[in-house]
Structure 1
Amino acid sequence: MSSVQVPAAGFWPSTLTARQAACALSDFVELRVAARGVVWSCQDPVSGRTLLWQAAVGDAARCLTPEGFSVRSRVYEYGGGSFAVSGQALVFVNEADQQLYLQYLDRPEQQPEALTDQPACRYADMQLAPCGTYLVAVEETHGLAGVQHRIVSIALDTTEPGMPRVLVAGDDFYSSPRLSPDGCRLLWISWQRPHQPWTQTQLYCAGADDRGGWQPALLLAGGQGNASIQQPLFDQQNNVLALSDQGGFWQPWRESGGSLHLMKGIEADHAGAPWQMGGCNFLPVDDRYCLLSWFEQGFGKMGLYDMHANRLVRHYLPEYSRMRHLAVDDAFFYCIASRPEQGTAVVAIDRRSGVETVLAQTTTSMAADQVSRPQALEFATCAGQRTRAFFYPPSNRAFRLQPGERPPLVIFLHGGPTSAAYPVFDARIQFWTQRGFAVADLNYRGSTGFGRAYRQVLAGRWGELDVDDVLALVDELLERDLVDARRVCVRGVSAGGYTSLLALAASDRFAAAASWYGVSDPLALDKVTHKFEGDYLGWLLGSLTEANRASIRQRSPVALVSRMKTPVIFFQGGKDVVVVPEQTRSMVQQLRAQGVAVECHEFPEQGHGFRSAERMAFALQAELEFYRQQFARISEGGSGYSPGGAE
């Protein structure tokens, strides 16, 4: 009588291929309301282009971006605010030349026409003026004096692209130029080095004068320091609203009596860190109600807030776990919404009935009952503090854990590090859970979505607190008996790669690790970083003075190679100007000299963050095979299980 060998967790076959997982990474980027319905941007994982689409309830979606164009801004390198819509007019930033182009939604046969011809300049975060004759934008100039930023106005005249008119200049950084509905007030945010937009910013407002210009600016918020203000806007009565973390969370504040006052209600972050411009996580509907999105224990919520009664009066989209880029017209609320078991969607909500309509949705290549769902974890870490993660158990209809079996673990570490992991469908996570892995997506201290104190605690302690949280996560999952202690892997992208490498130097409990264009020498990174992040490393690591460099070297993976024994696989872009290839090559060379098992894949045409589905698929499959090789060696050493099966 023959017996069928059941594959061990981590070796389960799956119909979700690496290629399918990579192609499912397409995402909606931004959304704006139009004369009919909404316009949104979406990245095509096959071509790498970012395209604009339009749809309304009852209409099929149509692509607006012709061949030869891709909509993406490079201001501050991370962009955002790459297009603006008013009525039938659509203005966008073309990725190749970073210039502004105008097209009309009701003239689909016409090609976009250039509004600017400034090869040394980039543009972002535009708003079309209510009068319809010009727009305001953030301009970034690259010249002999270095990189300069200012706020400009640009005429909507394509017959002869003219020179932008400078409205505001002198500060290091700007974002969010916004005009009031009556055109008589101009808002903007600025900040100075060494601050980041999530540490300290100022909100200014200027009134129009009688000569077609602007009066001297007034500081509305941020004068006391230690507050980050983002997403300023006007309501229909020309009053100012903005998100500020002065009270401990990014919450809505509203103008009254010439200053901003907290809209009391939900003590929670209503937005993440503004790495990209153009975000919208709250929006006044009329003079009484405001549409809000916020986070509770990392899960996104959305509702209608009564500004007079200071309370929520209605919740929307309860099945979704992240809502962003809110928009509104007379009949519908709109947003980009994500959920744990389905692809990201552009959703319209009928303002009267609350009925939801999905206008567009990304593909998942998976049935909903196959998807592993996130479980929120909060647990103790060092110094009596607490940290957070999302845990995804293995999920595959064809297989289940055998009695007494525990799955291998893959820890995901997000980049930033001032960023976050969200409990939404991610094909990369499902790629692992389908094969019998558990996944833990860690929001280590310093992540966003949990208030200013949680975010700011990483200042000067990057490479310490985040590493402590990784080790605390492993301890927590082992204490709960959820994973196999001998098959724990850690992977990170960019800043997360830095943390994953340091975790290997801090502990030998890991079976394998992966660094996706991860930082290995932060001091070298400081020499090549761009203006936007020019002081970020100093904030994360502490002073970059010579006196502090010894401490920083103790948090540099390249200086701690002698402590690392864990096999590592590296993925690196040959055109990466953030984490240059030399960093990864040096780590690989030194680890090999130490006798550590290392595998390295460098993709010559990729930059910081892989945009090619083909490269992403190759890397996912290579990472899986690398981990399985290490597990097989553990099995040969007497772990008591056999991999079994084949994929």
Structure 2
Amino acid sequence: MNETHASSLKAAEPFSAIKAVAAGIDFAELLVGRHGLFWNEYRPEDAACRIWHWHDGQAKCLTPPGFSARSRVYEYGGGAFCLTDDGIVFVNEADQQLYRQSLTGETPEVLTSTECRYGDLQFANGQVLAVEENRDQHRLVAIDLADGARHLLAEGADFYAAPTLSPDAQRLAWIEWSRPDQPWTATRLMVAARLNDGSFAQPRCVAGDRAQESLQQPRFDASGRLYCLTDRGGYWQPWVESAAGLNPLTSTAADHGPAPWQLGGSTWLPLGEERYLASWTEGGFGRLGLCGDAAQDFTGDYSRFRSLALDERFIYCIAGSPISSSAVIAIDRSTRQVKVLAGGIAPLPAEQISRPQTLRYPSGSGEAHGFFYPAMTGAAKPPLVVFIHGGPTSACYPMLDPRIQYWAQRGFAVADLNYRGSSGYGRAYRQALHLSWGNVDVEDACAVVAYLAERGLIDGDKAFIRGGSAGGYTTLCALAFHKVFRAGASLYGVSDPVALARATHKFEGDYLDWLIGDPEQDAERYAARTPLLYASNISVPVIFFQGELDAVVVPQQTRDMVTALEDNGILVEAHYYADERHGFRKAGNQAHALEQEWLFYRRVMELAD
């Protein structure tokens, strides 16, 4: 086994791993206010998140050295900053405390000094509304901007999200849910009215108390009418409050939001009179439009839209396309002209970029979805790398991913899968993983190889599979229980779901019960789907990548799997990164992992030849 703990790379090839990682700049939490446009930018070279301010045609970074705006609530964070009357408040990554900052460049001032974490920030009425996490206790709180005084808004549920105050400050809405539910299976929309003394009355449940439905992104319009997304009609679609409950707005039968792993999502905005701005998914591709009377399509050349905002002249969002990286864009509402404010740089000439082709193929008793990227070297039947996204209740998107281009430039075709259980295709498709994780996802990963090989698009004898986190579990199951792949890569992947259940954090504490079953009552099912117990079945080489600070998939899982394969004489490599958590953020580590995976597959093919 080759085990490394550090990395040093030189960019020798035209599109190196270093270049691929450097192109991975991303954005989050775009907000517009009277002082201009603001967004949170992540850069892989130092793994920091910085808030930028766009005003009068210029972008200025507000985050000084030593700070990074990132929340860790529920481990996945989100909603790390909000706009105040004269500046911003943000969550500092290092200590998870709230800091306030003016727009004139002063050093941020600490607003809270507690052992809590904060996320999903909203500013209203002189206060910062936030989800507060104190170890395993979660609450909604309001923090006075003037002096940092804390006021409890809601407690008692296991989880909270999206605190939202009506324009007249008389009603507070939020999303909550209780174990064992996940935010994409069953949540509740709650509302509390303000009392004369300024506090809030006991909340009432507007939706979600009687049936399994997932609600997200509550919004008030300018008149104080309440809306939200709910999947009670089969997709996450916009509904509006009425005297009888919630009524559906006219919308496309499609998901108008992703699975809410992170806080602070904004994929739709009500505009009143049953008009709204929204992004939604059709066949895996994103759409953007003003909906209702006089609908307008603003999709253009882009294929994914998030963090929507607008003013009288522009629609703002974070967008991605098949040929350019994530970008902050402004779309003129009158002319539909698009201006890129940040990002959007293509790492390769357009003619050298492999474009996504829609995949819809039979698998097991149903069908699966994804995207196929042809190799860019002209081989008639190239080798294939199957990408398995994490989650597993998540999705991949048909936008430029420099990692995929890295493989395509090296002569590999790529199948990026939205296996059954992924989001973006409605509730029924999303629920397909219920008690079936390790079966239907693995079926879909194997079936795509046969589907593409039968059409002469790949060499079916040279198929590889890779995945991170939950995707690593699917990868290891595919290698343990099927003879389809030549080799595989597990990035911080699950090899022992029972061990994961014992060690995982509260947010996912009951997720495995939903995905597989009760660890005690369904012990045989767990055993049958535990790659570590069937390591002797794996007869092909495997490479592992693991962060030593990972609290979701603890490093010992990877070490146990490596040891089991070594004992069976299987070719194994393992790379550990002392400064990484769940999901690698530092550029040097990302580039090292990407290059080592390619070198490993090349070695496997050379040994076979």
1:373 shift after superposition: 0.3
Report the Cα offset of residue 557 of structure 1: 0.6
Q: What CA deviation, in whole Å up to 9, does each residue of 1:330-350 have, x standing for no partner?
A: 221110000010111111112
Q: Say yes or no: does 1:39 pair with 2:38.
A: yes
* CA-CA distance at 1:115 after TM superposition: 1.4
Question: Is 1:112 the equivalent of 2:108?
Answer: yes
1:47 & 1:334 partners in 2: Cα distance? 27
Asked whether 1:389 is paired with 2:370, we answer: yes
1:141 is matched with 134
Does residue 188 in structure 1 map to residue 181 in structure 2? no
List per-residue Cα deviations over 1:71-125 (Å, max 9, x = no partner): 00111111101111144331111111111111122x22x211111111x211111
- 1:14 deviates by 5.0
Q: Within 5 Å, which residues of 2 pair with 1:229-628? A: 229-257=215-243, 259-306=245-292, 309=293, 313-383=295-365, 385-395=366-376, 399-401=377-379, 405-545=380-520, 547-628=521-602
Q: Which residue is 1:6 aligned to?
A: none
User: CA–CA distance in 1 between the matches of 2:484 and 2:259?
Assistant: 32
- Measure the CA separation in 1 of the matches of 2:68 and 2:337: 33
Q: Per the alignment, do residues 87 and 368 of structure 1 end up closer, same or farther by CA in structure 2, a change over 3 Å counting?
A: farther
C-alpha distance after superposition, 1:24-66 (max 9, x if no partner): 112112211122331000112111110001114x512110101
Residue 365 of structure 1 deviates from its aligned partner by 2.3
Q: 1:151 aligns with which of 136, 140, 155?
A: 140
CA shift for structure 1 position 608:
1.1
> Post-superposition shift, 1:351?
2.0
Q: Are the equivalent residues in 2 in contact too, given 1:460–1:542 (CA < 8 A)? A: yes
**Residue 432 of structure 1: CA displacement?**
0.2
CA contact (8 A) 1:466 1:499 kept: yes
Which of the two has higher C-alpha Rg? 1
Q: Give me the whole-angstrom Cα distance separating, in 2, the residues matched to 1:595 and 1:266.
A: 54
Normalised by the length of structure 1, the TM-score is: 0.91
Alignment of 1:200-211 (within 5 A): 200-211=186-197
CA distance in structure 1 between the partners assigned to 2:548 and 2:273 by the alignment: 52
Kept in 2, the 8 Å contact 1:285–1:328? The answer is: no
Identity of matched residues, %: 48
Query: 1:596: Cα distance to partner?
Result: 1.1
Q: Residues 82 and 125 of structure 1 are in contact (CA less than 8 Å); yes or no, is this contact kept in structure 2?
A: yes
Give the aligned residue type for 2:131. V
The equivalent residue for 1:177 is: 163
Matched to 1:450, the amino acid is Y
Q: In structure 2, how many angstroms separate the alpha carbons of the residues matched to 1:594 and 1:294?
A: 48
How far off is 1:352 after superposition? 2.2
Distance 1:265 1:577 in 2: 40
Query: Is contact 1:338-1:345 (8 Å) kept?
Result: yes
CA 154–195 in structure 1, closer or farther in 2 if over 3 Å, else same = same
* Residues 373, 392 of structure 1: 8 Å contact kept: yes
User: What RMSD over aligned residues (CA atoms) do the two structures have, in Å?
Assistant: 1.3
2:199 matches 1:213: yes
* Matching residue of 2:7: none
Indicate conservation of the 8 Å contact 2:544/2:558, yes or no.
yes
Question: Where does the alignment leave 5 or more consecutive residues of structure 1 unmatched?
Answer: 1-12, 636-647
Deviation digits for residues 491-546 of structure 1, max 9, x if unmatched? 0111001101110122222111111111000100111111111101111111222x
Contact kept, 8 Å, 2:408 with 2:414, in 1: the verdict is yes
Question: What letter is aligned with 2:73?
Answer: V
The alpha-carbon deviation at position 265 of structure 1 amounts to 2.4
> What is the aligned partner in structure 1 of residue 65 from structure 2?
67
The match for 1:102 is 100
| Distance (whole Å) between structure 2 residues aligned to residue 362 and residue 516 of structure 1 | 27
SS of match in other structure, 2:522: helix
The alignment status of 1:634 with 2:594, answered yes or no, reads no
Query: CA contact under 8 A between 1:500 and 1:515: conserved in structure 2?
Result: yes
Q: How far, CA to CA, are the matches of 2:204 and 2:198 in structure 1? A: 18
1:258 and 1:292 map into 2 onto residues whose CA distance is 25
Structure-2-length-normalised TM-score: 0.96
Whole-angstrom CA distance in 2 between matches of 1:68 and 1:284: 38
Deviation of 1:288 (Å): 4.8
Counterpart contact for 1:237–1:287, Cα < 8 Å: no
Residue in structure 2 matched with residue 197 of structure 1 by the alignment: 183
Cα distance in 2 for residues equivalent to 1:86 and 1:551: 51
Deviation per residue, 1:416-447 (Å, 9 max, x gap)? 00110110100000000011100000111110
Q: Which amino acid aligns with 1:548?
A: D
CA contact (8 A) 1:343 1:362 kept: yes
Distance in 2 (alpha carbons) for counterparts of 1:391 and 1:139: 41
- Aligned equivalents of 2:270 and 2:276: distance in 1? 4
Letter in 2 for 1:84: C
CA contact 2:396–2:416 (8 Å) conserved in 1? yes
Whether the aligned pair in 1 keeps the contact of 2:218 and 2:226 (CA below 8 Å) is yes
Distance 2:332 2:102 in 1: 26
1:127 alignment partner in structure 2:
122
- How far off its partner does 1:225 sit? 2.3
Q: CA separation in 2, counterparts of 1:211 and 1:587?
A: 59
Equivalent-residue separation in structure 2 for 1:203 and 1:534 (angstroms): 22
Conserved 8 A contact 2:238-2:251 = no
Question: Distance in 2 between the 1:211 and 1:151 partners?
Answer: 19
Contact 2:304-2:397 within 8 A present in 1 as well: yes
Question: Which stretches of structure 1, 4 residues or longer, exceed 6 Å deviation after superposition?
Answer: none
Structure 2 residue aligned with 1:9: none
In the alignment, the residues of structure 1 paired with residue 555 and residue 202 of structure 2 have an alpha-carbon distance, to the nearest angstrom, of 47
SS in 1 for 2:46: coil
The corresponding residue for 1:7 is none
Q: Is the 8 A contact 2:194 2:201 kept in 1?
A: yes
Residue of structure 2 in register with 1:639 after alignment: none
Structure 2 alignment gaps of length 5 or more: 1-11
SS at structure 1 position matched to 2:524: helix
Amino acid at match of 1:123: Y
Asked if structure 1 preserves the Cα contact closer than 8 Å seen for 2:24 and 2:325, the reply is no
Q: 1:40 and 1:294, CA in 2 relative to 1: closer, same or farther beyond 3 A?
A: same
Q: Which amino acid aligns with 1:517?
A: Y
Mapped partners of 2:574, 2:198: distance in 1: 59
What is the match of residue 88 of structure 2? 90
Distance 1:115 1:407 in 2: 56
Tell me the amino acid that sits aligned with residue 540 of structure 2.
T
2:9 paired residue number: none
Report the 3-state secondary structure (helix = DSSP H, G, I; strand = E; otherwise coil) of the residue aligned with 1:553. Answer: helix
Deviation, 1:362, is 4.6
**How far apart are residue 255 of structure 1 and its match?**
1.4
Rounded Cα–Cα distance in structure 2 between residues aligned with 1:171 and 1:619? 40
